[in-house]
Structure 1
Amino acid sequence: MRAPRMKMPVVLTQRADFLAAAKARRQGTSGFLLQARHRSDDGPVRVGFTCSKKIGNAVMRNRAKRRLREIARLGLLEHARPGWDYVLVGRPGATISRDFADLQQDLTTALSRIHK
C-alpha cells in the first residue's frame, strides 16, 4: 500500500515572478536562500526553484532542485501563508551535501523568520 502523496504548491514559471521575489524579503540558511514576497491577492501559495551554474554541472543542479522541491512538498504548505510567493535558491555545495533533515529544518526556520 502506497503512502498518500502530499499536495505540491503551485510552481512559479514566469521570469517576472522570480524577479519580483528577488526584490522582496530574503532569508539565508546553511542549505539555501529563501526569497519571499507578498502578492496583492490572497491566492494560493506559489513556489519556485533555481540553481545557478555555481552549483555545478546539469546533474548537480538537477539534484539540488530535486532536493529543494522535496523539502517544499513536505513542509512548505504547513508554514507558508496564502498570497505569498517563495523562491528557494540552491547554494553551491551545501544544497546537495547537507543532511535532508537539516534542509527541512532550514525551511521551517527561514519561513518563521520571513513572517516575523
Structure 2
Amino acid sequence: MLGRLKRRAEFVRAAKAGRKAARDALVLQALPRDDAETRLGFTATKKIGNAVARNRAKRRLRAAARLHLAAAPAPGFDLVLIARDATGHCAFPTLLADLEAALRKAGVPRPPVHP
C-alpha cells in the first residue's frame, strides 16, 4: 500500500535519519519503517524555478513513482523524492532510470513482480 507523507516533521525525519541517494534528475531519501506501509513524499525547492516549474517537476516525480512503485512497492519505507533542475525537462525514461538507481543505492529492496 502506498501512503503519502504530508507533515513537515515526516519529511525532516526522513532527511535526518534516512539514507540518501542523489542522481542527475532527483534525490531520494529513504527511511525504513517498523510496519509494512510505504509512504511517499515529493518536494521541489524554489531553486527549481517558479510555481509552474516546481509543480511540473513534482508531477513528473509522482508519475515516475506511480509507474515504478505501484505494482510492487518496497515494504516499510518512507520515501522522499526531491526534484532537481533536470527533473522538469529530462527525458522520462532517464527519470525512471535515475529513480531505479537511487532506490538501489539507498538500499530499498524491490520485491519480485509476478505476472
- Kindly report which structure 2 residues correspond to 1:29-108, keeping only aligned pairs within 5 A, or say none: 29-39=23-33, 41-77=34-70, 80-92=73-85, 94-108=86-100
Give the Cα–Cα distance (whole angstroms) in 2 for the partners of residues 31 and 78 of structure 1.
22
Counterpart of 1:4? none
Using structure 1 for the length normalisation, give the TM-score: 0.85
Give the Cα–Cα distance (whole angstroms) in 1 for the partners of residues 23 and 71 of structure 2.
19
Give the Cα–Cα distance (whole angstroms) in 1 for the partners of residues 24 and 14 of structure 2.
20
Residues 1:91 and 1:104: Cα distance change in structure 2 (over 3 Å): same
Unaligned regions of 5+ residues in structure 1, if any? 1-7
Using structure 2 for the length normalisation, give the TM-score: 0.86
Report deviation, 1:43.
2.9
Post-superposition Cα deviations, 1:47-105, rounded to whole Å, max 9, x if no partner, equal 0000000010000000000000000100024564211100000012x001111001001
Question: Percent of aligned pairs with the same residue?
Answer: 50
Moved over 3 A (4+): 77-80
Give the Cα–Cα distance (whole angstroms) in 2 for the partners of residues 82 and 68 of structure 1.
19
Equivalent residue pairs, number: 107
Single out whichever of 76-85 and 14-23 deviates more from structure 2: 76-85
SS of match in other structure, 2:49: coil
Structure 1 residue 113 corresponds to structure 2 residue 105: yes
Report deviation, 1:113.
1.3
Residues 1:101 and 1:65: Cα distance change in structure 2 (over 3 Å): same
8 A Cα contact 1:80 1:111, kept in partner: no
| Aligned-CA RMSD value | 1.6
